[in-house]
Amino acid sequence: VKIYKVMSCFSQMEELQKENVYIKDAERVEKLLCQLIQDGKSKLQIITDFDMTLSRFSINGKRCATCHNVLENSSLVPESKKQVLDELRDTYYPIEINAKMTIEEKIPFMMEWYTKGTGVLVECGLKQSDLSLAVKESNALMRDGCDWQFSTLHEHKVPMLIFSAGIGDILEEIIKQHSQMYANMRVVSNYMDFNHDGMLVGFKGDLVHTYNKNEGALRNSDYFTTLKDRRNIILMGDSMGDLRMADGVPNMQHILKIGFLNDNIEERLEKYKEAYDIVLVSDSTMDVPNAILKKIL
Ligand code: TMP
Ligand code: MG
């Protein structure tokens, strides 16, 4: 009975039949889903990106803010610095999403973007106490269904690693304002370093950018070691760099990779279909991951 239930679940899941859902190898995904369902929640862990994966890409045709954009667009940053940050984004974002360049070719540019960008933020005299208002006034939003996903994963004690090249302090504040930070969540990101007056003086630890998440994953292998019995992974991301977020997981058995393709769609669809098991094009919801979780939990 169990096998029957499992084998038919793929075709039964109407969320997977929608037009914006691309699955290159349906047989593999069917098998993977079967396995994840059979092994159940005690073997599961979630590894996810934040910006444009948990957070929303756009609303009514207008781009939503990334962690960095929350600050860039706020009144905390003077006009002259905004201009510098805009110029940096116009230079480097097209490289981030370029379909022709390899990850290795992109890395030096991402390093440049992040180093220059964080340098400018430090020059702005940002205060820790201003961050909450900056998030409130921004249009940073979570995908529909994140709130359900977070509370359900917490209820079922499934660990969730949020691995972000954004800004840790800002992403936690976005989550708090639109949902809740739970005990089963762990964030690896760029955290701000404030002095005793609460003034931003730099960033802590090693820089996480979009394409070095593999190094970060290996640095955080202690986290994965404590979860060594959770051999099944659901990975969610919106960038090719996010595929490396699980590189530090020992004894991984099964990994289901779900990719959100938000921008530069036609140029990147083929690559995304190769790399991600399930590709969700211009989807502002968590419907597909949540439907899968409902089967497993
Ligand atoms: P992530 O989603 O891979 O964690 O990356 C964070 C996003 O932040 C990535 O899409 C690039 C973006 N970003 C900005 O919007 N402004 C910036 O100044 C920087 C450095 C990054
Ligand atoms: Mg992202």
For residue range 12-51, what is the model confidence (pLDDT) as tens digits?
789 999 999 999 999 999 999 999 999 999 999 999 999 9
Q: Which of 25, 49, 130, 242 is catalytic?
A: 49
- Ligand 1 atom 1, closest CA: 165
Which residues are bridge partners to 188 per DSSP? 163
- 116 Cβ below 6 A of ligand 1: no
Pick the range with the lowest mean pLDDT from 76-90, 182-196, 210-224: 210-224
Q: Report the candidate in 227, 173, 212 with the shortest Cα–Cα distance to residue 41.
A: 227
Which atom of ligand 1 lies at the shortest distance from residue 208's CA? 4
In terms of phi and psi (left: phi > 0; alpha: psi -120 to 50; beta: otherwise), the region of 125 is left
CB count within 10 Å of CB 19 equals 6
Which residues are bridge partners to 281 per DSSP? 261
User: Over 60: is that where the pLDDT of 2 sits?
Assistant: no
Query: Does this model's pTM top 0.90?
Result: yes
**pLDDT class for 88, splitting at 50, 70, 90?**
very high
- 66 Cβ below 6 A of ligand 1: yes
User: Over 60: is that where the pLDDT of 1 sits?
Assistant: no
Q: In angstroms, what is the span from residue 166 Cα to ligand 1's centroid?
A: 5
Q: Are 278 and 288 in contact (CB under 8 A)?
A: yes
Run of H or E including 22: strand 21-22
For residue 235 the two structure tokens come to: 């990975």
**pLDDT class for 8, splitting at 50, 70, 90?**
low
Terminus-to-terminus CA distance in the chain, angstroms? 18
- Is 222 marked active-site? no
- 45 Cβ below 6 A of ligand 1: no
For residue 151 the two structure tokens come to: 């509370």
DSSP, collapsed to helix, strand or coil, labels residue 81 as helix
Run of H or E including 258: strand 254-261
Q: Which of 51, 90, 209 to mutate to test the pocket of ligand 1 (most atoms within 8 A of CB)?
A: 51
Percentage with pLDDT > 90 across the chain = 93
For residue 72 the two structure tokens come to: 């860039």
Note the ligand closest to the C-alpha atom of 164: 1
Give the separation between CA 229 and CA 251, rounded to whole angstroms. 8
Give the separation between CA 35 and CA 163, rounded to whole angstroms. 25
Pairing of strands 192-194, 200-203: antiparallel
φ and ψ at residue 67, rounded to 5 degrees:
-55, -45
